[in-house]
A and B are shown apart, each in its own frame.
Chain A
Amino acid sequence: MSWTRFDPTATFIRVPVRIVGLQGVEWLGMALDTGSNRTVLSELAAIRLGYDLVSAPTVHIVTASGIAEARLIFARQIFALGMTVDEFPVLVMPLPTRLRADGLLGLDFLRCRKLFCNFEKGILLTLPFSRNLMHRFALSAQIFAAL
């Protein structure tokens, strides 16, 4: 079980994410975005982490405001919400500087586990998928603490 605290009064849910790139490791603030099917990293962050965006493959994307292009890279490792995933595909695109986050943590990452959100207390809780009835009871006890 892993708890992550967030500011429930903030404009969006920002979570700390550790990204291991080709050149160094960075902790960045990323917006939790269940409306994105892919995890997105800002162009500047990808450059700092040592990725060559010119040679990276292009992907077409649709956003709330239209169609755009992004680059596809593979983060050596991503750690967020208590989960670690290696060689994780990430879309890279410019993000507005007014957005004080360096990326979007999308559904592709969130699908790895169960996610519980307490908007009142500002708690995100991630749990493994339940294997059997006993495991389900054990997980329920952990969720209880976050209620």
Chain B
Amino acid sequence: MGEIRPEPIEQIRQRYKNEWLLIKVTKHDRSGFPIEGILLLHTPDKEEVHEAILNLRERGETGELMFWFEGPLVPEGWEVVLSVLDEV
């Protein structure tokens, strides 16, 4: 089995649309943002990525993991209203 080589994160993001991506970050730019990594998982199911991270941590993975959705930030037909104020 060949070694999995890191690739530009931008390239990974272009390959998988409307999916959650789990990437192990291997390189940052000068500002500290991740630019290169190894794709560990891609799936439309967010819960699957959550479980995968928990499993990786249990197995001793201590590296930087990037958990990112590539696509619209809410499903079509939905709108967003945020805002949280504490100390009611």
Contacts and interface: CB of A to CB of B under 8 A. Distances in A.
B79 A11 contact: yes
Contacts, number: 124
Interface in A92-133: 93, 97-102, 104, 106
B82 A104 contact: yes
A37 B66 contact: no
B73 A99 contact: yes
Contacts of B86: 37-38, 59-61, 70, 91
A82 B83 CA distance: 23
Interface in A1-55: 2-4, 10-12, 14, 16, 18, 23-29, 31, 33, 35-38, 40, 44-45, 47-48, 50
Contact of A18 (B53, B64, B72): B64
Interface in B50-71: 50, 53-54, 57, 61-69, 71
B53 A48 contact: yes
Nearest to B78: A98
Contacts of B79: 11
B1 interface: no
Interface of B: 25, 31-34, 46-47, 50, 53-54, 57, 61-69, 71-75, 78-88
Interface of A: 2-4, 10-12, 14, 16, 18, 23-29, 31, 33, 35-38, 40, 44-45, 47-48, 50, 59-65, 67, 70, 79, 82, 91, 93, 97-102, 104, 106
